[in-house]
Structures are given as C-alpha cells and as structure tokens.
Chains A and B, each alone.
Chain A
Amino acid sequence: MMEHQTIPLREDELREHLVVIGNGMAGCRAVEELLLRDAGRYRVTIFGAEPRVNYNRIMLSPVLAGEKSFDEIVINGHDWYDRHGISLIAGDPVLAIDRAGKTVTTRSGLTTGYDKLLIATGSDPFIIPVPGNDLHGVIGFRDMADVETMLGAAEKGGAAVVIGGGLLGLEAAHGLSLRGMKVTVLHLMPTLMERQLDEAAGWLLKQELEARGQTILTGADTAEILGGEWVEGVRLKDGTMIPANLVVMAVGIRPSVALARDAGLKVGRGIHVDDHMVTSDPAIHAVGECVEHDGQVYGLVAPLWEMCRALADGLVERHTGYKGSVTSTKLKVSGIDVFSAGEFASLDGAEDIVLRDAARGVYKRVVVKDDRIVGAVLYGDTADGGWYFDLLKRGEDIAPLREVLIFGQAFASGGGVADPKAAVAALSADAEICGCNGVSKGQVVACIEKGACSLDAVRSTCKASASCGSCTGLVENLLALTLGDEVQEGAKTLCKCTSFGHDHVRREIVAQAMRSIPEVMQKLHWTTPDGCSSCRPALNYYLLCALPGEYVDDQQSRFVNERLHANIQKDGTYSVVPRMWGGLTNPRQLRAIADVVEKYEAPMVKVTGGQRLDIFGIKKEDLPAVWADLNAAGMVSGHAYGKALRTVKTCVGSEWCRFGTQDSTGLGVKVEQATWGSWMPHKFKIAVSGCPRNCAEATIKDFGVICVDSGYELHVGGNGGIKVRVTDLLCKVATEAEAIEHCAAFIQLYREEAWYLERTAPWIERVGLTYIQSRLLDDAEERAALARRFFHSQSFSQEDPWAKRAEGAEREHHAPMAKFTPMEMA
C-alpha cells in the first residue's frame, strides 16, 4: 500500500520548506520539537519508507509479545499531520538528494524542492555475512513488517532461531516464545547483553530465560543458514544443527548512511554532524541513529531526544548545542527487570559496590570512580535505576552517601522505610521519568500543573508512561507530590493487563458511562488485546453491577462454573446443587433429587455445609436435562457455583426449639428469597440463628443474623475459610423488615465497592467497620437508597438460569460440536 499525496505549493507559500527524510521516531520528534518552538516557521514535508504513520519503534517488542496492538504504539496519527499542515508521503522512500538543485527524488519519481533538509533515516539491521542469509524467513527486527513476518511464522508454530543475545534479540526471542514458537538464541559472546550487563547479571538473565523455556547458546558462532528457498535451520561452526523455520538477525544495527554518502556528505560510521546537528552541507541536518557526533554513534532512544532538542533550537536560531549522551538501558521482557547505565567494564581507578540477594534473585552493582558514579547494573530490582542514572548524569559527589549507596535511594536519604514519594521529590527537574518517550520530571510536573490531574491525563498529554508503563509508579508519585490530596494513591493494579487499580477502573466505568469490556479496555489503555482470565471476569462483573438490566453478560468472561451454572470437578464432570430455601425441603423435592441421582447415575450425593444436597458426577451434556427434572419439582439453581448469594443457613427457631426467640427459619427463607440470584464480587453466605447459641453459625458468615428476645443482631464480615474471621456486630434492629433492609443495603454496598474476588472479611478489614457503619447507619435515607438499588438490580437477576438452559438456550455450552468415529477404531 502506498500513500501518495501531491504537495500543493500555494502562491502565498513563502515560508521556507523543511523536508524530512524519515518518518520514524527521530524525524517526527524533531518536527514536534520545532512545532513547540515556532509552529508557523517552516512548511514541513515528511517522507517515510514504511507505509505507516509515525509509531514508537521501541515498542515493537510488546507488539510482538502480544502486549500491545499497532494502534497503541502510534505516536502521531493522521490527525497530527493534518492539524499541523504536514504533508506525509509514506511508503515511497527517498532515493536521491540533489544538493546543487536542493531537491530530493523518491522511488516513484516524485521530486520535491527543499530549503532545509533533515536526514533521519535511522539504521539498518546488520545481516551477518554467512551463506543462506538471503533465504526466505531470514529477517531483521527493525520495523512493523518484520513483526508481521514473525507473527505469520509464529502462527504456523515450529522453531525459531534468534541470532544475537542483545537487547533486541532477547526481546524478539521473548515475543516469539510467547507466541508459541520453540526459540533458540545464538549469542557469539560468552554472556548475554554483554554491552549492557556484566557477567553476573548476564548469568542471572540466562537462567531466567532458560527457565522460561528458551534455549540459550552462548559462544555460538553461526556458520551457515540452511534451506532451499525457505530457511530450514542453522549450522554452527562447531557442527551443531538447529532446525528453524524462522531466523531473526539481531546482532546489531548500522547507521543508514547510503543516501548521505551518495549525496557526497561527509560520512564516517554515521553521517558527520556538529553540535547543532548540521552536516557538512549547511542546508542539511541529520539526527538519530544515522549520525555520528563527536566520534559516537547511538543505537538507543534517549540520545535522540537530546539531539532533536538541539536541532530544533538551531532551526529557530536559538542555538544550544548537543553535548553527547550518556545512555541507560532497560530490557522490555515482562517479569524480568534489568537496568544498566554508563560504564562497568573494569576501568582504571574504578571501584565496585555490589549487593547480591540470591534468594530474591537480586544483583546490584554500582561502579564508582573519584567519588562519582560512572556505571550501574541492576538485575531483579531496578527501582533505583533512575536515581543512580540521575546521580551519574549530574556527576554528583557521592562520598557522603557511599556507605549506603547500594541500598538505594530510600535508605540513602535517611529513612529505613522506603518513601517512594520522597525519592521522586529528590530527583532533579531534568531527570528522565519516561525513557520510552523521553519525558523529564520537569515536563511531567509542568503537564500536571497545566491541569492533567490523573495518570490517564498525563499519559495523553505528555505521553509519560503511555508506552511500556514501567514508569507508571513514578508518574503517580509526581501526581501525588504536585497535587497533594487531589489524587488518590495508586491502588494495586487490577491485573497485569493494566496499570489501574480496581477502584479507578470502577470509577471510570461509571464516570464515562462505559458499556462493554472492549470499551473499558480501549479507554483505559489495556496492554493486552483482550485481557486475561483475571481482568475479564472482573470487568464483566463491574459492568453488570453498574448497568443492571442493560449490560449483556459476556459468557466468555465468566469462569466455567458460572458459564455452566454448575461446579466443575477434577474429573471434568459437574456437581449440581438445587436451591432449598432456608435449608427447608419436602418429599417432592427429595424424590426429584433421588430420581435424578438414579437416572443420571450420579455416583455421590452429599449434604453440604450450607444445608443443601449436592449431586456429584453429572456430565456436561446431561446438565440441561438434570435441570429440567429439578425445575419440574419446583427447584431452581442453588448458585453453589457462583460469585453470588450461596445459601442462607438457618436453625429451627421459635417454631420448634425450646430456646428459640424468633422465627429464624421463616426469616431465613425470606432473606434467601430476597437475595438469591444476585451477582457479587465473591461468594456470599448468610445464616440466621434463632438464639445466641447460634446453631446456624451466623458469626462466620458474610451476613449473619442472631435473633434475641428484643429483636435481631446483625453481624457482618465473617468467614469460615482458610483464615477464619468472626463477624463484627453491625447493629441491632427490632423488626424482620429492618433486618432485610439492612441486609440488602449491606450487600449493595459490598457489590458496589468491594474489589472483584474480595470476600466481605478482607473488604471490611481494608475499609474499616466504622466506614461500613457510617454508610449504613448514619443516614436512613442513604441506607434505603442502597437497598432500593439492590432490589432494582434483583428485578433483573432473579430469573432461574437453569430454566433457560433446560429449555434449550445456549446449547453450545453443553453439546459437542461434532462427533468422530474413526473407522480404524470401530
């Protein structure tokens, strides 16, 4: 696909024309910097070799790993080019520069004049000169097309070889491995990422990757790539053969200088530039990985931001100059934290400070010379990477900190207790917060002060933490520091797909009136295409709770038990528990249950702790018929499988018991009829005891009633599970109606505010009994409103899910798609 645009030159167009060759991170960043300084000064045309808008190349690894989509890594979409009147010619690479005529010509023959030219052609992957390196299936890892090739190969399965155990190679290997390929990494040197990591950290990394199923061969020298038309394998110099249907070359990159060299510009390893990014031709500038500045070429993203700053300052004639960069590196492999900065190869006069914590898999090494940090390597715990890097760049005298330096910033700045806010506060304004997008602390703070008061707003305004998300904590702390109490502390995240916590997600669902799981994932920047088995059920519940009667339950986001309305057992059969209100039953129900047990050959029936009968060993395909039989005897689903009201357990109460003070059985039945069918954050159990002897064990239930002569004691937050918790007394009420209203209001508060999969016991410990009491007891109207919301929701949920399935609804959950009788077996 090519996108052609003619470039209209209006009569009144007298501005100088800036032509940018390269639509990548450097080219577009340079234009962004220029727009910030003087938006109207130049007419801008950008040429890109790839048929795409400007995207974040360093985020290709998460795209490969399935953690991001392409749309999520777009830095500037078409609207950005339109808004700034930038002409984009994508998919048509520039092939020649005519310096004398001041024009560039593309592959399709388009010739365009320029006043100023900016070369930002980046770099090309280095393809090692071995036989077979031109076979189909041998690729680099440089652009979206490479990612698409890798995804295509991964879809077919099989084996991949990644040549090169550096940053890029390991990220490629990680992604391919996640996509289901069997991956072998070949690395020429004895340790992985030897340019960034020392031997110890490289070893830890190798162990971790091998534990994840990759094969890592160090000291592996490739002799030949084998195959006919397509690659079939790799042969090493020692004779080892490794079969592969994909070979990714990630041994390094070379500045892309052909265009500049052909144009007669001065070129060494890269295009020579001065401190203002001007080449040997004063009308031509260059930035990014294609340049050589002061003898240095860079293959990382951070120097690029600094170059673009210097370039833009020069273009608007406020020269500042580029002084070279010190770089730091983070590996983007989820679950592996690696950080490195500066020098760490043995330097004269340098000393190492090392901390190892084998049990936690932590290795930290800080290299110090003349009381200055010159390098740092962190593995396993990289929280202090930014701090060390900041000290390094500023050349801070660390003599006063030396004894405690290795323990990190929190310790070194006095408190034994880590205070992440103080740590961020201590960073200098130009300390880098977001490495992916080159955003400094000062820029984040400025963006917050201009009104971005949430993480989301910061992400969409200055892009800090909008890419890999590893600096989310830093940004949250900056929000807290800058705005004080106006931001809430970031709670723990809902799952690994998001950096938001449960509370934030729930608030935003309501505030933005979101209506579906994909909408939530889109608006809240989910990092995975369709979530995971943790967040999908949570979001499904949050939407269900927020939109009673409107939200359409997503069956594929339900755990199997809630999808099949029965409990899966370890042999793949199900157990079925019909509801018996308050634990009461009768001959008709008992007969129906007995008949089901015989008819479907259930191997076991058991009385449960919640006073019900549990029928075991029912096959998935028999479930609808079992339910039809139970329905016929007047029984409905017992929800023994759900994050829902399970059972109301009762004792016999005043009707029969000589100690009974109230009709506990009758109240239990009423409570169960009021609350059954409601979906909740977790399972919910109720009991009603007729006297303080408490035979129904109401004080270890989520909601318990203990009848006394003068009324009803209401207890909340009990749990009889792994960690037994006795209930707290909520209050005492005089009538059954009040008991039921309090119960409904308590359940609704729990439904609306607890986190998914949080039982009432930990919820109450988290928010405090006082809070619950204030919401339920201080204001009768608020309690009544909660109860009303509960009953409104109940009006949609008290429909027996078994009955619908028994009538044939959603047959696909129960019936096999096909049956196959092999002739050979018959």
Chain B
Amino acid sequence: MIGDWLDIGWAEEIPVRGSRIVQVDGGDDIAVFRTGEGKVFALKDRCPHKHGRLSQGIVHGGAVACPLHNWRISLASGEALGDDKGCTPTVPVRVDAGRILIQRAATLAAAA
C-alpha cells in the first residue's frame, strides 16, 4: 500500500561506511547507514548505552561503533555486540531502484 514506506532519498547520498539522519518531527532522529558492501540499514539514532548518536560512529562490517564509548551495535538487529548488553530499535529498509525507503510505522515507533 502506498504510504507504508517513506522515500527518504538516493542511496548514494549516504557515504559508503557512513550514515545520514532522518529527522522526525517531535521524535528522535533515525540514523540510516550504508555499509562497505553497499547494504542499507536504519536504526533509532540513539545508543542503548548512554544515548550516543550512532549516526556519528564508525561503520565497519555490519556494525557501527558508538562515538561516545565505542559500543558496537549490529546494524541488522540493533543489538550491542561483544560483552555489552542492550538493543536499539531497528527500522525496516528497502532499496528500490536506488531510492531508500523506510517503513513508516516502524519509523514512528522508533522515533517515539
């Protein structure tokens, strides 16, 4: 159904191994990542540890290192990796003809 997915822009607008944010009015930002393999993921832009901006971290493999205390968060599941415990909400992503689409309902839930 049209409207279930939000078109946020071209995949190329995100640097490889980088991230951009989507601002949600009245809620937290969503961080959208592009990995070295060209895969795109979206998470609430908030580390489960001390709420660091994951969009500002270093993306490596399928994870991002939080800029505040270097927690590694899985881009696919939002879970903290290694010895750390915690999880940040994920937002389903589709890439369609180079456009990135994020799921509306999950975006609202994650931003809330």
| Residues of A near any B CB (own CB < 8 A) | 66, 154-155, 157, 178-182, 211-213, 528-533, 536-537, 555-557, 559-561, 563-564, 568, 570, 572, 812, 816-822, 824-826
Q: Is the CB of A824 within 8 A of B108?
A: yes
Chain B residues with Cβ under 8 A from A180's Cβ?
Answer: 62, 74-77, 79
Residues in B39-86 with C-beta less than 8 Å from chain A: 39, 50-53, 56-62, 65, 67-68, 70, 72, 74-77, 79, 81-83, 85
Determine which of B15, B24, B70 lies in contact with A812 in the assembled complex, contact meaning CB atoms within 8 Å.
Answer: B15
Chain B residues with Cβ under 8 A from A825's Cβ?
Answer: 25-27, 108
* In the complex with contacts A66-B62, A179-B62, A528-B60, A816-B17 CB distance below 8 A: no
Determine which of B16, B20, B65 lies in contact with A532 in the assembled complex, contact meaning CB atoms within 8 Å.
Answer: B65
Chain A residues with Cβ under 8 A from B67's Cβ?
Answer: 559-561, 568
In whole angstroms, what is the CA distance A528 to B72 when docked? 15
- By size class, the interface of chain B is 35 or more
In whole angstroms, what is the CA distance A40 to B107 when docked? 66
Chain B residues with Cβ under 8 A from A572's Cβ?
Answer: 51-53, 56
| Residues of B near any A CB (own CB < 8 A) | 6, 8-9, 13-18, 20-27, 29, 32, 36-37, 39, 50-53, 56-62, 65, 67-68, 70, 72, 74-77, 79, 81-83, 85, 90, 104, 107-108
Q: Is the CB of A568 within 8 A of B68?
A: yes
Determine which of A181, A530, A817 lies in contact with B22 in the assembled complex, contact meaning CB atoms within 8 Å.
Answer: A817
- Closest residue of chain B to A826 (Cβ to Cβ) is B25
Instruction: Give the secondary structure class of B's interface.
Output: loop
In whole angstroms, what is the CA distance A66 to B6 when docked? 31
- Distance from B105 Cβ to chain A, minimum over Cβ atoms (Å): 10
Q: Is the CB of B76 within 8 A of A157?
A: yes
- Distance from A773 Cβ to chain B, minimum over Cβ atoms (Å): 36
Chain B residues with Cβ under 8 A from A821's Cβ?
Answer: 25
Q: Is the CB of A818 within 8 A of B76?
A: no
In whole angstroms, what is the CA distance A446 to B49 when docked? 52
In whole angstroms, what is the CA distance A528 to B79 when docked? 20
Q: Is the CB of B68 within 8 A of A530?
A: no
User: 5 A-B Cβ contacts within 8 A?
Assistant: A180-B79, A529-B37, A561-B67, A572-B56, A819-B25
* In the complex with contacts A180-B76, A570-B68, A812-B20, A822-B62 CB distance below 8 A: no
- Closest residue of chain A to B39 (Cβ to Cβ) is A155
Q: Is the CB of B58 within 8 A of A557?
A: yes
Determine which of B29, B61, B82 lies in contact with A528 in the assembled complex, contact meaning CB atoms within 8 Å.
Answer: B61
- Distance from A67 Cβ to chain B, minimum over Cβ atoms (Å): 9
- Distance from B38 Cβ to chain A, minimum over Cβ atoms (Å): 12
- Closest residue of chain B to A497 (Cβ to Cβ) is B60
In whole angstroms, what is the CA distance A455 to B50 when docked? 41
- A181, A532, A564 — which one has the most chain B CB atoms within 10 A of its CB? A532
- Distance from A266 Cβ to chain B, minimum over Cβ atoms (Å): 49
In whole angstroms, what is the CA distance A178 to B56 when docked? 22
Chain A residues with Cβ under 8 A from B22's Cβ?
Answer: 816-820
Q: In the complex, given contacts A66-B61, A529-B36, A537-B58, what are 6 additional A-B residue pairs having Cβ atoms less than 8 angstroms apart?
A: A157-B77, A180-B77, A568-B68, A572-B51, A812-B14, A816-B21
Q: Is the CB of A533 within 8 A of B79?
A: no
* In the complex with contacts A180-B75, A822-B108, A556-B18 CB distance below 8 A: yes
- Closest residue of chain A to B85 (Cβ to Cβ) is A213
Determine which of B13, B56, B60 lies in contact with A530 in the assembled complex, contact meaning CB atoms within 8 Å.
Answer: B60
Determine which of A154, A555, A568 lies in contact with B53 in the assembled complex, contact meaning CB atoms within 8 Å.
Answer: A568
7 closest cross-chain pairs (CB), A and B: A180-B76, A533-B65, A180-B77, A817-B20, A560-B56, A530-B36, A818-B8
Determine which of B14, B52, B72, B74 lies in contact with A817 in the assembled complex, contact meaning CB atoms within 8 Å.
Answer: B14
- Distance from A238 Cβ to chain B, minimum over Cβ atoms (Å): 28
In whole angstroms, what is the CA distance A555 to B18 when docked? 9
In whole angstroms, what is the CA distance A537 to B9 when docked? 29
Chain B residues with Cβ under 8 A from A528's Cβ?
Answer: 60-61
Q: Is the CB of A211 within 8 A of B83?
A: yes
In whole angstroms, what is the CA distance A822 to B82 when docked? 36
* In the complex with contacts A213-B79, A568-B67, A812-B15, A536-B21 CB distance below 8 A: no
Chain B residues with Cβ under 8 A from A817's Cβ?
Answer: 8-9, 13-14, 20-22, 32
- Closest residue of chain B to A528 (Cβ to Cβ) is B61
- Closest residue of chain B to A818 (Cβ to Cβ) is B8
* In the complex with contacts A568-B56, A572-B52, A822-B25, A530-B61 CB distance below 8 A: yes
